[in-house]
Amino acid sequence: MAHILDTIPSFEAFARKAFLESPYTRETLWEEGYEAAHPRVFTAFYAAEPGRSGRSALVRDLSRVREVARQGAPVMGQLISEVEPDVARILGMEGSEMPRHVLMVGPMSTNVVVGCLDDEVTLFHCLEWFQDNEGARVLVAHEDTHAFHRMQLDVPIPTDAAWTAFYEGLAAQVSRTAVPGRPEADYFWYGHEGFSAWLPWCQEHLDELTERFRSALDDPDTCDTFFGSGLVDGRWRVGFYLADDLVGRLDRSLPELIAMTADEGRTAMREALNAR
């Protein structure tokens, strides 16, 4: 059974109290009410994802965020319980320790982040990003793979570009297996709208993306350019499309891939890049 901590009742209590207050007062009440109700959760969350600047915009849109969180919490709890056993089976990790999950509202910095809460690998699901059930199902499979991957490794998650391509590509491949038949864009954007031109562009420019990534593999900025806030020809997150393609070309099963060491994962990505 999935281990889920739901902080949304505390968020709802904060929202009721803060609803008629100014945005400035709402931020203060957020810290004094919502975050103070779950201090270990937010300490662990900010250790993994320190950005807080989006909270100001979030509290100004409190009515919408409150409704989205209210809608998303039961859906996400159900999806986690349904999807996690499939992810564990696909990865050959049935019977292993399961990650923890926290349902929360964050400061608009990320949709999900994997961190540690009370020394346990934990997924922090930020419901201000919730879109729809099926997109969220793919997201759960993707991020749950990251949690299992972190539990499998005996070192902290690396941050270099070759490893990140392996890490993200494996999660995309698992989500395809766990949640088959979704529109192709859902495996990268999880139901978010406004990216209809992104996928055709990536498909058309795959060879160019491969070459640019290969030539910049050891540049410390490459990971952010391809997977973070940077842009490639004006487009975000094109590394996720490339990573999915590269890992899909590896002639190994998903359990074999997740059992690789960090160095083996990097080597596999370099070999796949050179083989294209």
103, 124, 152 — which closes off a domain? 152
Mean pLDDT of 218-231: 94
**Which one-letter DSSP state was computed for residue 156?**
P
Same domain, 191 and 217: yes
Query: Averaged over 147-161, what is the pLDDT?
Result: 90
Q: What is the mean pLDDT of residues 94-115?
A: 95
Examine the pLDDT at 166 and tell me if it is beyond 90.
yes
Q: Are 77 and 6 in contact (CB under 8 A)?
A: yes
Whole-number mean pLDDT of the chain?
Answer: 95
Query: 202 and 65 in one domain?
Result: no
Do 147 and 166 fall within a single domain? no
- Decide: helix, strand or coil at residue 271: helix
Collect all residues with Cβ–Cβ distance below 8 Å to 59 and sequence separation of at least 6: 18, 23, 26, 27, 30
The pLDDT value recorded for residue 215 is 96
Nearest to 38 by CA among 112, 120, 104: 104
Q: Write out the residue range of the structural domain in which residue 24 sits.
A: 3-152
What six digits make up the tokens of 209? 């993306």
User: What is residue 222's predicted lDDT score, i.e. its pLDDT?
Assistant: 97
Q: Are 136 and 82 in contact (CB under 8 A)?
A: no
Q: 112: which 2 tokens?
A: 């999900």
Which residue type occupies 244?
Answer: D
- Other C-beta atoms closer than 10 Å to the C-beta of 258 total 23
In this structure, what is the dihedral angle of CA atoms 158, 161, 164, 170, given to the nearest 10 degrees?
A: -130
211 pLDDT higher than 90? yes
* In a shared domain, residues 20 and 61: yes
Same domain, 122 and 258: no
The single residue listed with the structure tokens 């949640």 is 179
Question: Per-residue confidence at 259, pLDDT binned at 50, 70, 90?
Answer: very high
Percent of the chain with pLDDT over 90: 89
At residue 154, does pLDDT exceed 80? no
**How is residue 215 written in tokens?**
């030539």
At 231, is the secondary structure helix, strand, or coil? strand
pLDDT of residue 194: 83
pLDDT, one tens digit per residue, over 65-77 is 999 999 999 999 9
DSSP tag of 127: G
Return the pLDDT at 1.
66
Q: Which residue has the higher pLDDT, 258 or 192?
A: 258
Q: What is the pLDDT of residues 2-42, one digit of tens each?
A: 799 999 999 999 999 999 999 999 999 999 999 999 999 99
Number of domains in the chain: 2
Question: Does residue 134 share a domain with residue 228?
Answer: no
